[in-house]
């Protein structure tokens, strides 16, 4: 199995953000994208060289005899060398569309869903969603290298209620060197393990209860991120962020300074030819406003992956978990954790289990908890159908038995997923 640090460096050349190709098809896709970018740049350089030769020849030619000034007319467009892309087509972005649909059956009314002892704004979607058939979140993704120094990426989410949200939109440096990368715009924070991943790569239909209760599902922000990848065989990465505090537990208040700051440290490596691991520690500080206290969320995360001789095509196993601890001014400390295991027992077929539990700090005499099992089939890297059953005890009363049937389809180019 190749060292993780080497895989990170390869992925960074082809797509924004930290990525690590996990299958042969991912590697081939990265190669195709690199070849496509190389072809575009070579064609554009050829066109510029042709223009330069023409300009030099014109400069060397003797000046023409004086003549009366002609009447001003519109200049014809500058011809482009044969085979060279026009400026409108030279930097076409990679485009992907993620389609997702869901059928949900719940034994308790989802409209009354809550997590006992945790205060989550009404604007934040938690719980199983609506009963019956629904169009889940669809996502339009665009990404491209802008020039030798910057790349750009945008993810537009289309929600079932027909609302549209800019999930991510950022520019990122590509050539700073010394392991440094700077990102600016709107992006999912790198705290923890699951937070920075898009929902279509999750192993379960929904986010863990701890993420829903303390991060509103996922924490995203408008701001600046600086990442440093250590030049070592062991993967070591440090990321620091400052931002507006756009989403919960931030308050999206109007202020001159930063409304949130985050720091994440992750390390990992290989164990023999068949196993690899990653672990990390993160902290998020979110400022409150009038009537809302400041919040600090600590996160510890870890993941271990196994595939025989590094080949995950037929059989592989993943063990993943996170612990979150939320501290708010003048309020009890709250915490929660989840652990999950995913096993691919044959090509395209996986089974998974997840257990989770929260401590609400004694604010309500109930312990929120949940257990889930899932079975999914992915005939290719672009499609997946998942069946999930969960026993949800997030609120007092009888258990909420939830059955979910989900499809997820990816159209177009899509970058490799993170480790």
Q: How many helices (H) and strands (E) does the chain have?
A: 3, 17
Strand 220-229 with 235-243, pairing: antiparallel
Give Cβ neighbours of residue 185 (< 8 Å, ≥ 6 apart): 168, 169, 170, 171, 222
Place of tokens 């740049």: 41
In order of their start, the domains of the chain are 4-40+90-412 (2.40.160.10)
DSSP 161: T
Identify the pLDDT of residue 3: 45
| CA 81, chain centre distance (Å) | 39
60 membership: H or E segment, kind and range: helix 24-60
Among 300, 297, 262, 267, smallest CA distance to 281 is for 300
Identify the pLDDT of residue 58: 57
Give Cβ neighbours of residue 117 (< 8 Å, ≥ 6 apart): 334, 358, 360, 361, 362, 363, 364, 366, 368
CA neighbours closer than 13 Å in the CB half-sphere of residue 192: 28
pTM: 0.78
Alpha carbon distance 206, 105 (integer Å): 14
Q: What pLDDT tens digit does each residue of the chain (419 aa) get?
A: 444 444 433 434 344 443 344 455 666 677 767 766 666 666 667 666 666 666 666 555 444 444 444 433 333 343 333 333 444 445 578 999 999 999 999 999 999 999 999 999 988 999 999 999 999 989 999 999 999 999 999 999 998 888 999 999 999 999 999 999 999 999 999 999 999 999 999 999 999 999 999 999 999 999 999 999 999 999 999 999 999 999 999 999 888 989 999 999 999 999 999 999 999 999 999 999 888 899 999 999 999 999 999 999 999 999 999 999 999 988 999 999 999 999 999 999 999 999 999 999 999 999 999 999 999 999 998 999 999 999 999 999 999 999 999 999 999 877 667 88
Look at residue 315 and give its three-state secondary structure.
coil
Identify the pLDDT of residue 23: 55
Alpha carbon distance 275, 15 (integer Å): 25
Alpha carbon distance 357, 336 (integer Å): 6
């Amino acid at each position: 199995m190749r060292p993780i640090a080497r895989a990170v460096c390869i992925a960074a050349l082809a797509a924004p953000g930290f990525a690590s190709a996990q299958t042969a098809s991912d590697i081939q896709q990265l190669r195709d994208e690199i070849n496509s970018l190389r072809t575009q740049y070579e064609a554009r350089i050829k066109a510029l060289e042709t223009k330069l030769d023409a300009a030099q020849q014109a400069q060397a030619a003797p000046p023409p005899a004086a003549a009366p000034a002609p009447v001003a007319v519109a200049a014809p467009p500058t011809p482009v060398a044969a085979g060279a892309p026009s400026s409108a087509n030279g930097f076409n972005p990679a485009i992907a569309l993620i389609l997702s649909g869901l059928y949900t059956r719940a034994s308790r009314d989802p409209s009354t869903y809550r997590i006992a002892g945790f205060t989550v704004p009404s604007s934040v979607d938690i719980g199983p969603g609506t009963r019956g058939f629904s169009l889940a979140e669809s996502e339009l993704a665009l990404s491209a290298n802008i020039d030798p120094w910057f790349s750009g990426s945008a993810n537009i989410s289309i929600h079932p209620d027909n609302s549209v949200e800019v999930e991510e939109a950022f520019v990122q440096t590509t050539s700073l060197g010394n392991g440094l990368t700077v990102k600016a715009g709107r992006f999912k924070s790198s705290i923890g393990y699951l937070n920075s991943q898009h929902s279509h790569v999750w192993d379960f239909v929904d986010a863990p209860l701890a993420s829903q209760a303390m991060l509103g599902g996922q924490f995203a922000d408008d701001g600046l991120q600086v990442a440093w990848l250590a030049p070592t065989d062991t993967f070591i990465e440090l990321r620091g962020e400052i931002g507006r505090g756009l989403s919960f537990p931030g308050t999206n208040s109007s202020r001159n300074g930063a409304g949130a700051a985050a720091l994440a440290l992750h390390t990992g490596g290989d164990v023999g030819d068949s196993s690899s691991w990653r672990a990390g520690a993160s902290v998020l500080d979110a400022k409150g406003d009038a009537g809302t206290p400041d919040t600090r969320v600590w996160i510890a995360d870890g993941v271990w992956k196994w595939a025989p001789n590094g080949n995950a095509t037929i059989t592989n196993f993943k063990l993943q978990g996170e612990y979150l601890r939320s501290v708010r001014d003048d309020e009890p400390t709250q915490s929660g954790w989840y652990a999950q295991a995913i096993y691919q027992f044959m090509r395209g077929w996986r089974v998974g289990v997840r257990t989770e539990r929260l401590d609400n700090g004694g604010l309500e005499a109930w312990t929120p908890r949940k257990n889930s099992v899932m079975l999914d089939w992915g005939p290719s890297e672009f499609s997946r159908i998942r069946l999930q059953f969960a026993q949800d005890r997030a609120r007092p009363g009888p258990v909420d038995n939830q059955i979910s049937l989900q499809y997820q389809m990816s159209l177009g180019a899509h970058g490799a997923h993170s480790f």
